[in-house]
Structure 1
């Protein structure tokens, strides 16, 4: 039924693919400025199109914010390394310029109507199943964009998606190719192998003090104690401030009365309605539909029961089952004609037939919703909390600014702590990758290792620990990176030398075994003389859980041996053991693919190849473009 379709569509058809693409674009490509700025130097040109310093700076800032928002407490401050961000941001701007120029040459466009439709139906921009302009504005502001910039970015991504899909969808595979691939995938091989024990080889290596000294000197950077700091800090907590705020009984009663009045007002303005819907169909054209609606209207005027007629004649099964009842009706859901007719009715009155986009309706106004009013005692705790939270917000902002001002002027945390009535706390030592307690917060780590705090020993700016807490830090102890004493790392060095030499000796032993086998040595006698045993898997397929994955992969990479012969190779296993591999009797599969198998395999492989083709397309655009990097200094 059409009304059911309306209800389903009101929940929004999903535009997540586009929105996810936008999010990916934000993270990978950044945000480009749409307005040129005089005195703004170029950092690169792409086929004559300039990429400016401002664009690069905005893109880097965008990427910083996306990293922090997406990773939260797991954010690694080293990701904000400017050279790394600058290179990624500049490359993304170059790639966007290349694609934009190509799309313009191909005259690919997206209409304003399509753009509006994507925004309106994206679930990210809906509240309770309805499009919310406020949600869009919040999203756009959080990304540091204007509405025009957002629409332009979305338009570009939608067009790019068309291009990407068009190229990827053009790839296909023939039946013969699929059959050949299936024959290879179902190929079997007789596999056998000897396992050379890494632990035995490692333990057999003798390491002298001279060996340790040489290794220590040659690999000093591996044995560095990382730079560490500990900090003193003070924390301003909004919740603790809220606990000090006194809320009077009079204030609670006043807020309760206001909320009761608001509930009653909302209930009186919330219209409840019932309807009988008649839809044109194959047996009844629009004129006949209207005629039947007029007949039902006459029956209602003569005293017929609305609910009974709705159950018998309404084409909307959901409301018909409820005697036509729609419950509370949200303005705009059924269209302006429905809203206008309902608004003009008194409680209990029934409208004349109303023509709407989804059919002809008879509407009955069922009055206003009944307000459900909780008691004062039921609401007291929530109202008191609400009043405290309302009062604490300006206090928290005021005291945060005061703490920031005092800390900026002070040489340490003693004066800020005394003035604000806060306790100075201390952290254990932690490095640039963070630590425990307050050092698990990425913002704290970034502040602690900032130049002003670390080198100048200044108090930090306010650090937001959470929406309810801010902190100020001061360096308590700073341990610079230094090489660990050789005595402290001797065991580590001995283990490293044993691992390296043992692996090399094991590799040489494996090569020697293969050389003897290729020279005609008896495989069984060779294994016995080396204290080894052949393991075997006859007619093994490519996916065999009984054979180590690394060994299996190498076994299927080895060349086909001649009839009655063997091919040999080696594979290093996860524990360091080396397997000497022998294969024989390579047999291709010959089972014919059925239609469903061919379709599934063809779709998967064509998609993979199509994606590779698009990547090649983008690389070709770059290789054939005239790209000049004018300036690399993002801070200039």
Structure 2
């Protein structure tokens, strides 16, 4: 069963997931990016324009989300992977799917979208209930209006419904499962010979004459490109945080401010469980109420007296219980009294137009602020960040002005009281230090900056970090002396000779196989040992992933015949000869009923994904899609 899982999770499965799932993850809520916008139209899909600015925005949001989820990811690799072209493809797919769903008459009502919004945790208050105020605030921080968000949510739900119509209705058949188990859990035994070019390098003695001849034959390969050195001012929030010092008195003052604010909010949100006795009719209502109050104070049960004497039929049978109420839920005269009583305290008789009431508060739900000691670290961190941000913001504003006004960065650095930092010399193709930042590389594409005529504009690197750079020095293109590259050339020539020798060995081996040679004879011809490997499984990494992949491409050997030998060149240029000695299929029947059901479910998921991929492909082929690739050529701001 594990082998079958490995098969489903192998290269084919990963490709399928990337092709189907990723475009829809990166472009969720497509309407957010196609509505409005400005600048270049980079695609027109079924009459809907997609703008470069919104594609760039989505790229940034996707990169940021992935960085937060996986901080260990190489930022440059991530930036190369999540690029405008890929994101645009996902957005185009979403427009096509939404259009197809609408054409099919599929609709998501406001009520359906509303019920979904009620379940989204980001819109809940601290008690876990939906909060309109929290919803409005959260949506507006996303740059949306509540009605706009509702519209986008309907679109997203509609696309999911359309996709589910294909993915959730697919299924796997028993014969497909049997075939896949035979393949997925198949085991193969092999014998092989492996010769690496590296192992042949010592056989070739490269002379000085050969090295010099190669050096002079390709002089363009031995030119050191221009190199540049940057000086820069770096302002980061982390540095300002280290400088912020707070006293204990300042922390306590902040706590007191928060405590008062919290108390005001808590009072407004306080809820009390209240019961009452209502007396109506007659001139002795007050006297009767006083008598009942004396009984209660004397130990009588409020609920029993309510059942016996209260004229409020709705609550009398419940012992006078009105339930949990907040401020303003009761009439003003009762509300004022209810929220002054202590828990368990009975009110004085309250005369109203309805009659005379006695109230009792049976419980009070009141939020309490954690103690100063419990909140001290949080308060200190928040105050430090706020003060650091304030100072950073002011210095960033000043740096931007100074860098524009001055010819170099000396005066800005002195004015701000920061050190002027420098990078080592580097070629543009191999940036180091601050120059490796994508935003800095883009700044260097400005000829005036690259040639050292002026400072760059303010560059935001993210995470509260800002820099201004200037080219402090440059070195022109120059020829690399032979002495510096002699060893590299000699190794290059030796490897080339080794690869040529491998070509000769491959040809000799093919000729020997044509004459009926087996692997043992080939091993003698190549003067190599035969290596055996048993129980190789599909997708395995032993003895080597590429070798295993090659082995599972070989045809099954015919029964009662000598295993065929195949000569292959590996991806790194190595030479190998492989003999597939035996093949053992997996057991298609070796599953319990539960395992069989789970495996068929997995097949159904793969079939559903494949089905939906075909639908998207068809929509792309038949839809009105125009993509303007030339408008996606420039890099985006990081």
* Deviation of the 1:623 alpha carbon: 1.7
CA contact (8 A) 1:232 1:473 kept: yes
- In the alignment, what sits opposite 1:111? 109
Corresponding residue of 1:318: none
What do residues 74-133 of structure 1 show as CA deviations (whole Å, max 9, x unaligned)?
54499599xx96644654454343223212111222222332333443345556555566
Q: Mark the CA change 1:402 to 1:381 in structure 2 (over 3 Å): closer, same or farther.
A: same
Q: Over aligned residues, Cα RMSD in angstroms?
A: 5.2
TM superposition shift of 1:181: 2.6
Q: Which residue of 1 aligns with 2:309?
A: none
Match of 1:611 among 609, 612, 615: 609
Query: SS of the residue aligned with 1:476?
Result: strand
Q: Give the equivalent residue in structure 2 for 1:495.
A: 491
2:200 corresponding residue in structure 1: 201
Pick which of 578-587 and 342-351 moved more: 342-351
1:553 aligned onto 2:549: yes
User: How much does 1:51 deviate?
Assistant: 2.5
For residues 483-522 of structure 1, what are the structure 2 equivalents within 5 Å?
A: 484-521=480-517
Answering whether residue 602 of structure 2 is matched by residue 601 of structure 1, we say no
Contact 1:46/1:98 (CA < 8 Å) preserved in 2?
A: yes
- 1:582 maps to what in 2? 579
1:32 alignment counterpart = 33
Q: How far apart are the structure 2 equivalents of 1:432 and 1:134?
A: 51
CA distance in 2, matches of 1:364, 1:109: 49
Q: Quote the Cα distance in structure 2 between the aligned partners of 1:596 and 1:617.
A: 31
Contact 1:64 1:80 in 2 (8 A): no
Distance 2:479 2:506 in 1: 37
Equivalent residue, structure 2, for 1:620: 618
SS in 2 for 1:195: strand
Matched position secondary structure for 1:607: helix
Deviation for aligned residue 1:140 = 5.3
Q: CA deviation at 1:412?
A: 0.9
- The equivalences for 1:143-222 within 5 A come to 147-207=146-206, 212=211
1:482 positional shift: 6.5
1:407 match: 403
Cα distance in 1 for partners of 2:479, 2:620 equals 45
Q: 2:362 aligns with which of 348, 361, 364?
A: 364
TM-score w.r.t. length of structure 2:
0.68
Taking the aligned partners of 1:246 and 1:189, their CA distance within structure 2 comes to: 68
Q: 2:565 aligns with which of 564, 568, 583?
A: 568
Could you tell me whether the CA contact under 8 Å between 1:31 and 1:62 is conserved in 2?
A: no
Deviates more, 1:490-499 or 1:138-147: 138-147
Structure 1 SS opposite 2:33: coil
Paired residues for 1:118-517 under 5 Å: 118-125=116-123, 128=126, 129=128, 131=130, 147-207=146-206, 212=211, 225=224, 228-236=227-235, 258-259=257-258, 261-262=260-261, 265=264, 271=270, 303=300, 344=338, 346-349=341-344, 364-366=362-364, 374=372, 396-430=392-426, 438-439=434-435, 442-455=438-451, 457-464=453-460, 470-479=466-475, 484-517=480-513
Relative to structure 1, the CA distance from residue 454 to residue 629 in structure 2 (aligned partners, 3 Å threshold; closer, same or farther) is same
- Label 1:304 to 1:442 Cα distance change in 2 as closer, same or farther (>3 A): farther
Cα distance change, pair 523–138 in 1 and its aligned pair in 2 (3 A): same
**By how many angstroms is 1:31 displaced?**
4.8
Contact 1:29–1:59 under 8 Å retained in 2:
no
CA 1:224–1:90: 2 relative to 1, 3 Å: farther
Partner of 1:7: none
Unaligned regions of 5+ residues in structure 1, if any? 1-19, 277-297, 307-325, 352-361
In structure 2, do the counterparts of structure 1 residues 118 and 512 end up closer, same or farther at CA, with 3 Å as the change threshold?
farther
Q: Shift in Å at residue 476 of structure 1?
A: 1.1
Quote how far apart the aligned CAs of 1:552 are: 3.1
The alpha-carbon distance between structure 1 residues 432 and 341, as it changes in their structure 2 partners (threshold 3 A), is: farther
Using the TM superposition, give the Cα deviation of residue 395 of structure 1 relative to its aligned residue in structure 2, in angstroms: 5.2
Q: Deviations over 1:339-380 (max 9, x none)?
A: x999946322499xxxxxxxxxx97224756777659xx999
Tell me the CA shift for residue 410 of structure 1. 0.9
Using a 3 Å threshold, how does the CA distance of structure 1 residues 342 and 445 change in structure 2: closer, same or farther? farther
- Residue deviations 1:425-477, cap 9 Å, x none? 32333566886655565544544554553246322233345666543322212
Question: What CA deviation, in whole Å up to 9, does each residue of 1:315-336 have, x standing for no partner?
Answer: xxxxxxxxxxx9xx9979xxx8
Distance 1:30-1:143 versus aligned 2 partners, 3 A rule: farther
State the distance in 2 between where 1:482 and 1:195 align.
42
Give the whole-Å Cα distance in 1 for the aligned partners of 2:136 and 2:48: 30
Verify the 8 A CA contact 2:252 2:372 in the aligned structure 1.
no
Mapped partners of 2:223, 2:629: distance in 1: 35
Q: Determine the C-alpha separation between the residues in 1 that align with 2:380 and 2:583.
A: 79
Q: Work out the CA distance in 1 between the residues paired with 2:225 and 2:31.
A: 33
Cα distance in 1 between the residues matched to 2:487 and 2:473 = 29
Where 2:424 maps in the other structure, the secondary structure is: coil
SS of 1:561 mapped into structure 2: coil
1:592 aligns with 2:593: no
Report if aligned partners of 1:187, 1:589 keep a CA contact under 8 Å in 2.
Answer: yes
Query: What are the superposed Cα offsets for residues 553-604 of structure 1, whole Å, 9 maximum, x if unpaired?
Result: 3223222333322222235568764331112444545552433343233222
1:51 matched to 2:52? The reply is no
SS of 1:32's partner is helix
* TM-score for both structures, normalised by structure 1: 0.68
3-state DSSP of counterpart to 2:549: helix
Distance 1:41 1:544 in 2: 48
CA–CA separation in structure 2 for the residues paired with 1:477 and 1:77: 29
Contact 1:189 1:539 in 2 (8 A): yes
C-alpha change, 1:89 and 1:492, in structure 2 (3 Å) is same
Gaps of 5+ in 2: 1-20, 276-294, 304-322, 347-359
The CA deviation string for residues 8-55 of structure 1, in whole angstroms up to 9 with x for no partner, is xxxxxxxxxxxx989933489795342488xx88665445x1526xx2
Change in Cα spacing, 1:299 to 1:572, as seen in structure 2 (3 Å) is farther
What is the distance in 2 between the residues matched to 1:60 and 1:371? 43
Residue 483 (structure 1) shift: 6.6
In structure 2, C-alpha distance between the alignment counterparts of 1:215 and 1:27, rounded to whole Å: 55
Q: What is the distance in 2 between the residues matched to 1:85 and 1:599?
A: 40
Q: CA deviation at 1:503?
A: 3.1
- Answer yes or no: is the 8 Å Cα contact 1:33–1:58 preserved in 2: yes
